[in-house]
Amino acid sequence: MASLTITLNDGNKIPWLGFGTGTAFFGKDAEDATRMAIEHDLLHLDGAQLYKNEESLGAAIAASGKPRSSFYITTKLEKISLGRTVRDMLVTSLEKLRLGFVDLFLIHFPIEHEQPLSAIWKQFEDVQKEGLTRSIGVSNFRIQDFEAILDKANVIPAVNQIEYHPYVFNANQSVMKYMKEKNILPASYGGLSPVIRFRGGTLDPVLISVAGRVSKTAGQTVTEGQVLQLWLKAKQIPVITTTSKAERVQEYLAAEALPDLTLEEVSAIDEAGTKVHHRYFAKYWDNEGSAL
């Protein structure tokens, strides 16, 4: 069972490991996979309006029979439909999720909104005041996107959920520095991309070497994916990941109890990641086109 939490700037705590219902489940029923995650006590569940499967997430939560207090639930705002408000959009999500509130509500993308980001953020502050969400934050925000909301903000975003792994370590350094100064927690999605999407890169030998050392120390086989989780853990960055396989959920959960990486190992992974750049999501960060 995952137990490590990280405290946000609003005093709420976010579990370090989360189960995402996007990527492989985008536009698909995620109920069975989410039930499987819940059965393994992975109770930080990350959804979004854009994924078009909040009903199946809600069904899995309801079927578990577990109390609401057991869960940490995130959803994210898609573009606001014509004639609707942020509150309208969140209430619709809550109905689908069968919940009275979410723990974290994020602006999914900072681009392609008809309203200014500052106006959207003001509405986020309002739904937080109303108790429809405990924490508010953003996703895929660059420095310029933060600057569009922070001048008029009464609440600093608690989280910025971004693609984060060693192959974007270098490109993301400026926004990471900015967030640290503002006490905004980065959360990682796509964190296992180096072993899932970008095999054969400069990281491979380093990950293999570190996995060997941690395996020896732990007295059990440690995977390269778990090394990437430990790299994120060393940086106090929550990990949002996903799978349809029970053994993979067990692997993700087991990483929390593994020996920590050394400072030298973290630095070696940083350095190997800076030698090449790979971003899979939110390509507009690199001026490469569309948001998805």
Query: Does the active-site annotation cover 51?
Result: yes
Is 63 inside a domain boundary? yes
**Residue ranges of the binding site for substrate:** 108
Mean pLDDT of the 165-192 span? 93
Q: What is the CATH number of the domain that holds 122?
A: 3.20.20.100
Domain-embedded: residue 31: yes
Number of structural domains (the chain) is 1
Q: pLDDT tens digit string along 66-76? A: 999 999 999 99
Q: Is the residue at 215 inside a domain?
A: no
What confidence tens digit (pLDDT) does each residue in 93-131 have? 999 999 999 999 999 999 988 899 999 999 999 999 999
Question: Does the structure show a pLDDT above 80 at 27?
Answer: no
Residues whose CB falls within 8 Å of the CB of residue 26, separated by 6 or more in sequence, listed in order: 50, 51, 52, 53
pLDDT given for residue 200 in this prediction: 83
User: What share of the chain in percent tops pLDDT 70?
Assistant: 96
The residue type found at 246 is A
Kindly state the percentage of the chain with pLDDT values over 90. Answer: 74
206 domain residue, yes or no: no
Q: Would 208 be classed as within a structural domain? A: no
At residue 4, the pLDDT reads 92
Q: What is residue 83's predicted lDDT score, i.e. its pLDDT? A: 85
What value, to the nearest 5°, has the Cα angle with vertex 102 and ends 45 and 129? Answer: 155
Q: Which domain holds residue 68?
A: 5-193+235-259+277-286
Report pLDDT digits (tens) over 235-283: 999 999 988 889 989 999 999 999 999 999 999 999 999 998 888 788 8
Is 148 domain-assigned? yes
CA dist., res. 10 & res. 203, Å (int): 36
Average pLDDT, the chain: 91
Single pTM value for the model: 0.94
Residue 102 in any domain: the answer is yes
For 46-69, letters b (16+ CB in 10 Å) and e give bbbbbbbbbebbbbbbeebeeeee
pLDDT for 193: 85
Is pLDDT larger for residue 81 or for residue 126? 126
Q: Is residue 292 part of a domain?
A: no
pLDDT at residue 79 greater than cutoff 70: yes
Of the residues 51, 72, 164, 167, only one is catalytic, namely 51
The arithmetic mean of pLDDT across residues 15-42, rounded, is 86
Answer yes or no: are the C-beta atoms of 159 and 168 closer than 8 Å: no
Give residue-wise pLDDT tens across range 122-172.
999 999 999 999 999 999 999 999 999 999 899 999 999 999 999 998 888
Please report the pLDDT score of residue 128 as a whole number. 98
Cα–Cα distances (Å) from 150 to 118, 157, 183, in that order, read 8, 9, 13
- Residues annotated in a binding site: 108
What pLDDT, on a 0 to 100 scale, did the predictor assign at position 291? 37
